[in-house]
Amino acid sequence: MAAIILPELLPHVIRAEGQASSGGNGNGNSDPENRRNGHSASPSRANVNGQSTGQSNGRAHTIKPTFVRDTHPIDFPWKIEWNPETCIRCGSCVSTCTFGAIQPSLQRQGQTLSAGSFPKPVEATQVIMAIKQVNDPKHYCRGCGMCEKVCPTNSIHPVQNEHNRFPLVARAGGSPVKRGGRGHIRARVFDHIKVGRISQMTDPSLDAARHTFDLLTPLGRGLPAEELALQLDNGRLVESGWMPPVRWIYPIIIGDMSVGALSWRMWESLALAVAYLNEECGLPVVMSSGEGGMPVRLLTSEYLKYYIIQIASGHFGWNRIIKAMPQMVTDPAGILIKIGQGAKPGDGGLLPAEKVAPHIQAIRGVPKADLLSPPNHQGLYSIEESVQKMFLSMNAAFKFRVPVAIKVAASSTSVAVFNNLVRDPYHIVGGFFLDGIQGGTGAAHEVSLDHTGHPILSKLRDCYLDAVTQGRQGHIPLFVGGGFGDTGDLAADAFKAICLGANGVFAAKIFLQLAGCVGNEKGRCNACNTGKCPVGITTQDPRLVARLDVDAVAQNVVDYFLAADMELKKLMAPIGNSSLPVGRSDALVSLSKPVADRLQIAYAC
Ligand code: SF4
Ligand code: SF4
């Protein structure tokens, strides 16, 4: 590149006659040494390693051998491409990157220069400010794209590196890899299923815009007609005894994301959206608290009725919940006892110390430390025993007024658990939440996220058909989750699950995406475990939490629910259903024969 350089700048030009010109390589490593090792030139290191300092051909720099074990940004899942020509060195990218994956550095740049009245080409190098990708597996680029978003000149881009060696370098030191977000599992059975039975002529479709639809679903134990405690009194039907409590709720539940896993602004956004949907839009949407308790102000408010309070094996937050009971002015929508979750079945919850901020310590009553829940509820050694004890104590705590449900990870054995609950003669269980392998989490071991669990639809189908075989379908409402809405079409996924036998679905990741989460199933971000969420959703760092606009997020969630509500109706109308089509698998066809066979629905090609 030819350039005119002013005489006053000449002192900054480092003469290196005989050295070939070199430009930035996108990693901020312009010199040959950096290109190989990603290390800055370090004579002392070279001496320690006993390597020679080359002086031949006028090259006054260190040349070191490349060791395969040395890391380099090309080993990482994302590479940073940076354009020195357009970059204005504002530093926005570096200050925005929460992972410390890029840093400013000096870079030697070769140039052919001209100076004086009679220009004469001069080979020279100059030192420029550059953006360099950090060569440290602890600070690897997550591909979140925040640097790209804030760059005023579009000069920096993360690019996915399909030839990375990250699984090999990330385990240095003997620690298993941990991650948050979602598993890298892309198979979506939903996409093989279409709504194929359309009412026409003799059984005409409904009008989604004008017809009245009933989209409510029960949370609570359903009894067969002959077991209902009802009797006639002067021609009126009155209750003659205790009946299991039932809430009629919207069939899409905001799934379990704890105060702690989420930032306080994110939680507040969801809480605002839930209140608005219930009180202004007439949609009785409920939200699960996740493990970790709830703020006392919420526990003792009227809004508690919109929440399902979760209790998990760590019992985090329950001390405060129990203490708040005398001040509660209303009951919660339900209690959810978490046995397992789809993202890491067989593993307990994990809240890394980085996220245990003072308000989390107060709510959970813990010091700042990694908070690990055991993989199961301690002291309970069989399904029957566990269920009886937990449900009885939970029911007793709320005087048998609140439905109590159980959440398990989908697994080869989950039908057996469901069967035990369905046959329970005391009608204790008010809901069965089944979480599939594509569920997300705040933090997990990567090996669990990517390699354990069970896809949700076949297990949903197994549970539902098993109940049908016994004539007990509907006794325990089935709620399913794990990957619902991953492609943005939550209503479509929910509708298909309902036709396969679910009474409702729970979803979580999609609400984070509505808040601006940049993570995806293809390996982007998923750093929810680090406490450095670049958009302020899963962090407790006040500087990052400030990036989240509470009102805007709440608005997005409300808008999405309103759209999904109409989309559900647009799917119910063509099959002629004005109430939820639970178990109407005749409405579905599969474009895949194995899927059709496994789910017992029609195959279409
Ligand atoms: S993509 Fe995200 S993690 Fe990577 S350098 Fe840019 S801001 Fe940092
Ligand atoms: S943007 Fe935040 S919430 Fe989304 S994957 Fe990254 S760390 Fe997790």
* Distance from C-alpha of 286 to C-alpha of 274, rounded to nearest angstrom: 7
Ligand 1 neighbours by CB, cut-off 6 Å: 78, 80, 96-97, 99, 101-102, 141-147, 158
Q: Alpha helices of 301-347 — where are they, by DSSP H?
A: 318-324
Residue to substitute in 135, 146, 164, 528 for testing ligand 1 pocket (most ligand atoms within 8 angstroms of CB): 146
**CA dihedral defined by 458, 460, 461, 465, rounded to 10 degrees?**
140
- Ligand 2 centroid to 444 CA: how many Å? 14
- Report the pLDDT value the prediction gives residue 109, as an integer from 0 to 100: 81
Ligand 1 centroid – CA 390 distance (Å): 45
Question: Which ligand does the CA of 181 lie closest to?
Answer: 2
Ligand lying nearest the CA atom of residue 531 = 2
Mutate to test the pocket of ligand 2, among 535, 539, 540, 545 (most ligand atoms within 8 A of CB): 535
Helix (H, G, I), strand (E, B) or coil at 179: strand
**For position 476, what pLDDT does the model report?**
96
For ligand 2, the distance from its centroid to the CA atom of residue 534, given in whole angstroms, is 7
What ligand 1 atom has the least distance to the C-alpha of 80?
Answer: 5
Alpha carbons 259 and 356: distance in angstroms, whole number: 10
pLDDT of 378 reads 65
Structure tokens at 127: 């030192």
Q: How far is the CA of 563 from the centre of ligand 2 (A)?
A: 24
For the chain (length 605 residues), average pLDDT per consecutive 10? 40 38 39 40 34 45 71 94 95 97 91 75 85 94 97 97 92 89 84 92 84 95 90 90 93 94 95 97 96 90 96 82 93 92 83 86 84 72 68 81 93 90 84 94 89 94 96 95 94 98 97 96 93 96 96 98 97 94 97 97 96
**pTM given for the model:** 0.86
Confirm if 193 and 596 have CB atoms less than 8 A apart.
no
Residues contacting residue 16 through CB under 8 Å, at least 6 positions apart: 58, 60, 110, 123, 124, 125
Q: Which two tokens stand for residue 495?
A: 């509708």
Q: From the CA of 532, which ligand is nearest?
A: 2
Cβ-in-10-Å burial (0-12, 13-18, 19+) of 587 comes to buried
* 3-state class percentages of the chain: helix first, strand second, coil last, to nearest 5: 30, 20, 50
What is the structure's pLDDT at 379?
Answer: 62
Distance CA 502, CA 96 (A): 43
Pocket of ligand 2 (CB under 6 A): 144, 180-181, 512, 517-519, 525-528, 533-535, 537-538
Answer yes or no: are the C-beta atoms of 192 and 159 closer than 8 Å.
no
pLDDT at position 222: 93
Q: Which pLDDT score, from 0 to 100, does residue 146 have?
A: 97
- Amino acid type, 486: D
The torsion angles phi and psi of 214, rounded to 5 degrees, stand at -115, 105
| DSSP string computed for 51-119 | --EE-GGG--EE--PPPTTS--GGGSSEEEEE-TTT-----HHHHH-TT--EEEEEEEEEEEEE-TTTT
Q: Which of 94, 96, 138, 141 to mutate to test the pocket of ligand 1 (most atoms within 8 A of CB)?
A: 141
Please report, as a single letter, which amino acid is at residue 84.
P
A 10 A CB-CB count for 401 gives 9
Residues of the chain with CATH 3.20.20.70: 189-603
Residue nearest to ligand 1 atom 6, measured at CA:
147
> What separation in Å is there between the alpha carbon of 15 and the centre of ligand 1?
34
> Which one of the ligands is nearest to 156 CA?
1
Give the pLDDT score at 315: 79
pLDDT at position 394, please?
78
Protein residue with least CA distance to atom 8, ligand 2: 528
Residues 335 and 418: their CA atoms lie apart, in Å, by 17
Residue 539 Cα to ligand 1 midpoint, Å, equals 16
Ligand with an atom nearest the CA of residue 355: 2
* 538, 539, 541, 553: residue to mutate for ligand 2 pocket, most atoms within 8 A of CB: 538
Q: How far apart are CA 88 and CA 482, in angstroms?
A: 44
**Distance from the CA of 141 to the center of ligand 1, in angstroms?**
5
Give domain 189-603's CATH superfamily: Aldolase class I (3.20.20.70)
DSSP type of residue 5: -
pLDDT at 1: 39
Among all bound ligands, the one having the nearest atom to the CA of 78 is 1
Distances (CA, A) of 402 to 36, 233, 251, 316, 395: 64, 27, 18, 20, 7
Rounded distance from Cα 133 to ligand 1 centre (Å): 9
Nearest CA to ligand 1 atom 3: 141
pLDDT for position 285: 98
